[in-house]
Structure 1
């Protein structure tokens, strides 16, 4: 009787454990339909493994996959179960409502009923690492680079694989990023591909990795290697654009923007002050301190009674403020209306816009500044303190402007 009772208790306990694990399987299926893993995260083991990735990276990859699938699970079948030394393993067949059809997923649960490993779909994870490309500087202390306007954006040429191509200057982008429409990556059709970066409207899906043999931006060179790419065809506007020139390309230089003369000058920080004195010709300049948030240079600005933290982004065709500021800044705006905003992710979103009556940075005042309002929470996730907005074309084009990364200054010339 004692043996029978013990067997009964063990059987009931195992059935209870399996029921709890099957509930987590259902939560995963629901997460796929909802596009969010928020309900699953409390049930993930500390060393959670997803598609060969572990810990925080596993969670990040799972989050991206679930967000980008756009599928709904119509049916769940348990194909087999097995108790191993690692825990309970369940193999379930998910029948998706869309193109994926029926796919098997493997769930491994630890002794506490937490999800230890999940193989949801056959995906291959490729990463560039945190450092990005390696760029060699030329000996010259000043590089004068002709630029042209593409709408309110600046473009410049660079040699890509030995051929002169047009790129958009965007110090709001962390890296050199290539246009997949012009630089076609080698596709692996056996694997589902996911990726993400932060754009103005949301995460940029459909990013990929492309291999190039060489890159030369007026003497700033990178040898062959892998770089991120995504479809930028919506930015072209009749001009073939091969990518974005991001922060990593020119981070060792100070930037002098001269929209009127059609020139971007890259300055060795050792010669920045002498260049500013020469261009100012004895007239006063405005200098304000800059602090870095990741790769984004930030300044304090004032609108009415509000002090804001704004990122400096030459890839922003208009100024941008967080949508949460709309109500508090209503009295500081004119020409309030709705408009559309298209980000690097190609998503077009209806947003509110207006002209800021007075935007003050240091002692420099900018009047009737065209500004759009949008949710910036996705941009701020990776930043330490976060931003209230971005300043772009309306401020940078109003005068010659120096952005000094090394000394931490934004300088408005007369």
Structure 2
């Protein structure tokens, strides 16, 4: 028989006292506690509705789950009712304060329907796993998404900042295509939105981020683009604000734009959004962008768009990252690309979500081309820092990153459904 493993801890206090219902659920508590202490799964199951859930866990096969839980569950020595609360649908929530056989206290809950059956056995809470990309995708399916949108942005130190409203507060997000999803700064997420029962592993271009927790019931508005009641990872990013004091809420990742082709216009400081169907075709009239200078293929690996940049007769795969205000090149290519590198004096540090890489050489990459389109000399940091993220099949097959020095040369449109990048 398949075993179900749970991390057991107890639910917090809920509700206020109410008058008794037609069925007196208090009388059921003695039987419930007795069944728990005797580890009598059949008796407990007989008191549970067919649709009953256990704590915050997804719906399980209770005939398997309840015996497994009781085997691991500590007996209850004493208990008393501390709260009763009638729900809008007529269910009643009862919370008890208990002392377990091992001396530890707890506050389990029991939710009863009108017939006196248990519909939620709140004696455990599972440690759930947050899925940031699925959470954002789910939020987008129920959000207000305009067919076209022109979003002005601020360009500060080569990075894009978009004015936004998060949970009712005004500020801005850094737009970072190196992040797959929305990442919130903990400073701007109220404690009651943090889900301690949900864990999350989060990876950016530079690798895994530490200290990330999970939040729920957030709201975000960027002009006419509105996300309500969405879940997102929360990070202890360094305290940041723009020069005028405008707070920075976190990072807006590329996943926010999965239903759009988007255009970066650094000259006008505009982000242009055009909604597309599953084949990449526009759902509304195209936003005029000027003369098309070239359209080239790109490919996606994880959430990073990759293009091939030519230096001389050879091409090199490079990831596009608007969250980088300099290009980044792997140090291992320094010898191969020496004829195309013009070194500058000094060294710089690279600040990322995982910390700082110090003492990196700076240079200009010269005479690069994308297809037949010539590129200006690009300010580039040469580093031995890992920029691929992940290992094995998950590692990004790139030789570097193209940041602001690449993105600000032309007005460029990225369409991830058609896998194209266009220049105007």
TM-score if structure 1 supplies the norm length?
Answer: 0.62
Contact 1:194 1:206 in 2 (8 A): no
User: What is the match of residue 388 of structure 1?
Assistant: 399
Is 2:323 the partner of 1:347?
A: no
More helix by share: 1
User: What is the match of residue 379 of structure 1?
Assistant: 389
User: What is the match of residue 71 of structure 2?
Assistant: none
Gaps of 5+ in 1: 1-46, 53-123
User: What is the match of residue 259 of structure 1?
Assistant: 266
User: What is the match of residue 158 of structure 2?
Assistant: 152
Measured at CA, do residues 323 and 264 of structure 1 come closer, stay the same or move farther in structure 2, by a change above 3 Å? same
Superposed, 1:311-330 pairs within 5 Å as 311-330=319-338
Contact 1:179 1:230 in 2 (8 A): yes
Deviates more, 1:169-178 or 1:265-274: 265-274
Compute the displacement of 1:350 (Å). 2.4
Contact 1:318 1:391 in 2 (8 A): yes
User: Equivalents in 2 of 1:298, 1:378: separation in Å?
Assistant: 12
Contact 1:257 1:400 in 2 (8 A): yes
Deviates more, 1:332-341 or 1:166-175: 332-341
Compute the displacement of 1:178 (Å). 0.3
Q: 2:410 aligns with which of 387, 393, 399?
A: 399
Q: 2:251 aligns with which of 241, 244, 249?
A: 244
Contact 2:162 2:174 in 1 (8 A): yes
Contact 1:178 1:242 in 2 (8 A): yes
User: Equivalents in 1 of 2:422, 2:242: separation in Å?
Assistant: 31
User: Equivalents in 2 of 1:410, 1:298: separation in Å?
Assistant: 10
Q: Secondary structure of the residue that 2:405 maps to in structure 1? A: helix
Gaps of 5+ in 2: 8-125
Compute the displacement of 1:257 (Å). 0.8
Q: 1:210 aligns with which of 207, 215, 220?
A: 215
Q: Secondary structure of the residue that 1:390 maps to in structure 2? A: strand
Compute the displacement of 1:235 (Å). 5.1
Compute the displacement of 1:176 (Å). 0.7
Is 2:422 the partner of 1:408?
A: no
User: Equivalents in 2 of 1:253, 1:194: separation in Å?
Assistant: 30
Compute the displacement of 1:287 (Å). 0.8
Is 2:130 the partner of 1:128?
A: yes
Measured at CA, do residues 257 and 319 of structure 1 come closer, stay the same or move farther in structure 2, by a change above 3 Å? same
Q: Secondary structure of the residue that 1:216 maps to in structure 2? A: strand
Superposed, 1:62-211 pairs within 5 Å as 126-129=128-131, 131-133=134-136, 134-135=139-140, 136=142, 138=144, 140-185=146-191, 196-199=201-204, 201-211=206-216
1:63-99 CA-partner distances (Å, limit 9, x unpaired): xxxxxxxxxxxxxxxxxxxxxxxxxxxxxxxxxxxxx
Compute the displacement of 1:228 (Å). 0.5
Q: Secondary structure of the residue that 2:129 maps to in structure 1? A: coil
Q: 1:302 aligns with which of 287, 306, 310?
A: 310
User: Equivalents in 2 of 1:287, 1:177: separation in Å?
Assistant: 31
User: What is the match of residue 24 of structure 2?
Assistant: none
User: Equivalents in 1 of 2:235, 2:252: separation in Å?
Assistant: 14
User: Equivalents in 2 of 1:332, 1:323: separation in Å?
Assistant: 14
Q: Secondary structure of the residue that 1:331 maps to in structure 2? A: helix
User: Equivalents in 2 of 1:244, 1:50: separation in Å?
Assistant: 35
User: What is the match of residue 233 of structure 1?
Assistant: 238
TM-score if structure 2 supplies the norm length?
Answer: 0.61
Contact 2:173 2:250 in 1 (8 A): yes
Q: 1:331 aligns with which of 329, 339, 344?
A: 339
User: What is the match of residue 40 of structure 2?
Assistant: none
> What RMSD in Å do the two structures reach over aligned CA positions?
3.3
Q: Which has the larger radius of gyration?
A: 2
Contact 1:198 1:378 in 2 (8 A): no
User: What is the match of residue 363 of structure 1?
Assistant: 372
Contact 2:147 2:274 in 1 (8 A): yes
Compute the displacement of 1:263 (Å). 0.9
User: What is the match of residue 37 of structure 2?
Assistant: none
Contact 2:388 2:395 in 1 (8 A): no
User: Equivalents in 1 of 2:240, 2:371: separation in Å?
Assistant: 33
